[in-house]
């Protein structure tokens, strides 16, 4: 009987401890998710009820050229950022890991500092540096192209430059993860490899890379999810232009919901983007996990 009472007390205590989390999770995640799914099958405005229209919003998406343009821009941005930012972060982490003491802490702080800045500050800094008339980076661009370029008003430059801004802004977090992974590699393995006559490249390829692969796969997966949710930088730097060359899925969702008051259609866009993120990220993670076993 005492065991039964103790079990009940444990369950009661567990319920009391998890109740706040369950309440917050239900109110701020489960219920909004349910509402978005339900709205995507209606013609409701952003606020208010609508009529049930079934899969009409999803059928409309299939014929929406702007949606496919924005989806392509999202995928293009993923190609510009996910692998490059991971490679750059890995190179920085390898270099920083060679430093010691205060110098390592100082350099790591300098690389991590942009990550703590709000996106509004980041875009303001880069908009100033790349300003067509007064930008301090325009002479560098002119040295390459022969003339200054209004990068955020040029359809060929806008997405690559937003990718550069994003990599500069977010790469500090990736560096931090990779340095943590490097610190978890036992030094005995490097000493044993050196005694066997391994070159620095062989030590990296045979020791560092296999043991760092799980962290690298995590960085790649996190970056994929983050870059598919691109909105802030585009909205503040180019507003989707020029000629929709930087128009992304979340911008269309924002336009449909908050400017055109099409809550149902915006919810359908959100659901499609959610499914794309889930499917692509799960596939990538599984492929990376399989690749890491070889």
| Domain assignment present for 217 | yes
Dihedral, 78, 84, 85, 88 alpha carbons, nearest 10: 180
Report residue 281's pLDDT band, with 50, 70 and 90 as the boundaries: confident
Report residue 287's pLDDT band, with 50, 70 and 90 as the boundaries: confident
Report residue 252's pLDDT band, with 50, 70 and 90 as the boundaries: very high
pLDDT, tens only, 57-105? 999 999 999 999 999 999 999 999 999 999 999 999 999 988 888 888 8
Provide the CATH number for the domain around residue 179: 1.10.3720.10
pLDDT, tens only, 112-169? 999 999 999 999 999 999 998 889 999 999 998 888 999 999 999 999 999 999 999 9
Q: Is 290 helix (H, G, I), strand (E, B) or coil?
A: helix
Q: What's the DSSP call for residue 4?
A: H
pLDDT, tens only, 96-108? 988 888 888 898 8
| Domain assignment present for 33 | no
Percent of the chain at pLDDT > 90 equals 57
First to last CA, the chain: 54
Residue 292: predicted pLDDT = 58
Residues spanned by the domain of 86: 65-293
Residue 92: predicted pLDDT = 93
How many whole angstroms separate alpha carbon 111 and alpha carbon 90?
13
Q: How many domains does the chain have?
A: 1
| Domain assignment present for 242 | yes
Which distant-in-sequence residues (6+ apart) come within 8 Å of 49 by Cβ?
42
How many whole angstroms separate alpha carbon 190 and alpha carbon 183?
12
Report residue 270's pLDDT band, with 50, 70 and 90 as the boundaries: very high
User: What are the tokens at 247?
Assistant: 């128009």
How far, CA to CA in Å, does 34 sit from each of 5, 193, 266, 271?
38, 55, 14, 11
| Domain assignment present for 5 | no
| Domain assignment present for 246 | yes
| Domain assignment present for 152 | yes
pLDDT, tens only, 7-26? 888 888 888 888 898 999 99
222 cis-preceded (ω within 30 degrees of 0): no
Residue 294: predicted pLDDT = 56
Tell me the backbone φ, ψ of residue 223, rounded to 5 degrees: -65, -40
Compute the mean pLDDT over every residue in the chain, rounded to the nearest whole number. Answer: 90
Element (H, E) at 11: helix 2-25
| Domain assignment present for 238 | yes
| Domain assignment present for 222 | yes
How many whole angstroms separate alpha carbon 163 and alpha carbon 83?
12
Neighbours of 76 (CB within 10 A): 16
């Amino acid at each position: 009987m005492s065991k039964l009472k103790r079990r009940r007390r444990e369950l009661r205590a567990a319920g009391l401890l998890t109740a706040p989390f369950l309440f917050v999770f239900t109110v701020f995640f489960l219920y909004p998710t349910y509402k978005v799914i339900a709205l995507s099958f209606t013609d409701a405005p952003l606020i208010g009820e609508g009529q049930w229209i079934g899969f009409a919003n999803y059928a409309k998406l299939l014929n929406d050229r702007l949606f496919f343009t924005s989806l392509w821009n999202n995928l293009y941005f993923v190609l510009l950022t996910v692998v490059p930012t991971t490679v750059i972060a890995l190179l920085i982490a390898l270099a920083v890991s060679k430093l010691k003491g205060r110098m390592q802490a100082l350099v790591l702080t300098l690389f991590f500092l942009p990550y703590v800045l709000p996106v509004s500050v980041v875009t303001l800094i880069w908009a100033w540096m790349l300003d067509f008339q007064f930008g301090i980076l325009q002479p560098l661009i002119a040295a390459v192209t022969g003339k200054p370029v209004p990068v955020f008003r040029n359809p060929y430059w806008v997405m690559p430059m937003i990718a550069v801004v994003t990599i500069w802004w977010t790469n500090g977090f990736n560096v931090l993860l990779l340095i943590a992974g490097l610190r978890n590699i036992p030094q005995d393995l490097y000493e044993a490899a050196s005694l066997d006559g391994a070159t620095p490249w062989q030590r990296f390829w045979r020791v560092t890379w296999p043991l760092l692969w799980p962290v690298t796969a995590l960085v790649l997966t996190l970056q994929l999810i983050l870059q598919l949710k691109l909105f802030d930088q585009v909205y503040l730097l180019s507003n989707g232009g020029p000629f929709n060359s930087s128009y992304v899925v979340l911008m269309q969702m924002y336009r449909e919901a908050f400017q055109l008051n099409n809550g149902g259609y915006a919810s359908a866009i959100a659901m499609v983007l959610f499914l794309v993120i889930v499917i692509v990220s799960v596939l990538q993670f599984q492929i990376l996990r399989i690749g890491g076993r070889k």
